[in-house]
Amino acid sequence: MQTQTALAPIDLIVDSREASKHKLLVAWLEGQGLTVSTQLLEAGDYVLNAAPTKKRLCIERKTPMDFLSGLVKRDERGKERGRLWTQLDLLSQLRDERTDVAIALIGWLGMIEKVSKWANVSVCRIFDEVTLSWGIPIIPFANQLWFQNWLAAKCRDLGRLEEKQVLPLRAHRRDLPVHDAALYLLEGLTGPQTATALLEKFGTAKAVANASEEELMEVKGIGKIRAKFIYAAFNHPWRLTVKGSETLFIKHKKNSASAVA
C-alpha cells in the first residue's frame, strides 16, 4: 500500500497502528477506489476527510471487550483511569465546527456478560455517560463487514476526492500538568506506550531528545528504524521548503512508509 502525502486529497486516514492490525480492511477500502493514507494519529483510528461544505469525521474503533478493557487501569500514582477516558478527552477536544467524532462499537454486546463480571446495567450506564455526558455518539455495528461497508459509504457521502480538505488533526490539550505534558509531547512521535517507556528510561523529555540512537534502542519496542526516526525528529534541521532535501522513510508495514524530510 502506498501512503499518500498529507497535502494531497485523501478520502481516509487510518492510524498506522490500526492499519497494521487490519491490513485486509485497508486493502479492501483501497479496492473500493478510496484514497487511503496511514499516519500516526493522536486521537481516533480513522479520519474521514470531507468537502468544505461538510464536516470530517474522526472515528475511534472498539469491540465490546476493547471498550471494557479501557475503563479501569491503575496508573503509577495509584489512580484508576483507563485509556478509554483519555481517548474520550482527546476526541472531545477534536470536535469543532469542522470535525465530528464518534465511537464505532463492533461486535456482539452479549459477549460482555459471557466473559466478564460486568453487569449489563453498569455497561449501559457507561454507554449513556459517553453519549449524553461526553456528547460522543456510539455507533453500533453487528460485525466487521457492517463496519467496513459503512466506512466506504460514509467516505463517499462526505464528497468527491478532489473536493476534500486535509486539515491539521491534533487535540488542543489545555491546562495539562507538567507530568502529563512531557508524555503528550512524546506521544505524537511514538504513541502512548513507547512514550511512557521512554520517560521511564530517561526521566525527562529533554533527556529523550538528547539520547543517541543506540540509547533509544535500549527501550523495549524501539528497534533500529524507529530509533533513527526519533533521533531525526529531534535533530534534523527544520525548513519550510523541503524540495530536493534528504528524506528519511520509516516503514510502518510492508510496502508502506511515512516520510520525514
Quote the CA–CA distance of 5 and 33 in Å, as a whole number. 17
Are the beta carbons of 138 and 105 closer than 8 angstroms? yes
Q: What is the mean pLDDT of each run of 10 residues along the chain (261 residues)?
A: 52 92 95 92 91 94 90 60 82 87 95 88 93 95 97 97 76 62 76 82 93 93 87 76 41 40 37
> What pLDDT score was predicted for residue 141?
97
**Phi, psi (rounded to 5 degrees) for 9:** -60, 130
Q: Helix axis angle, 224-235 relative to 178-190, nearest 10°? A: 120
Quote the CA–CA distance of 99 and 34 in Å, as a whole number. 20
> What pLDDT score was predicted for residue 183?
76
Q: Residue 208 burial (CB < 10 Å; 0-12/13-18/19+)?
A: buried
> What pLDDT score was predicted for residue 258?
41
> What pLDDT score was predicted for residue 96?
81
Name residue 208's amino acid.
V
Residue 239: how many CB atoms within 10 A of its CB? 9
Residue 87: how many CB atoms within 10 A of its CB? 19
Identify the three-state secondary structure at position 46. Answer: strand
Domains of the chain plus CATH, in order, are 12-163 (3.40.50.10130), 178-260 (1.10.150.20)
Residue 172: how many CB atoms within 10 A of its CB? 8
Alpha-carbon distances, residue 168 vs 49, 95, 183, 203 (angstroms)? 11, 13, 20, 30
Residue 146: how many CB atoms within 10 A of its CB? 14
Question: Which three cell numbers mark 62?
Answer: 472498539
> What pLDDT score was predicted for residue 247?
42
User: For strand 56-62 and strand 36-39, is the pairing parallel, antiparallel, or unpaired?
Assistant: unpaired
> What pLDDT score was predicted for residue 105?
97
> What pLDDT score was predicted for residue 147?
98
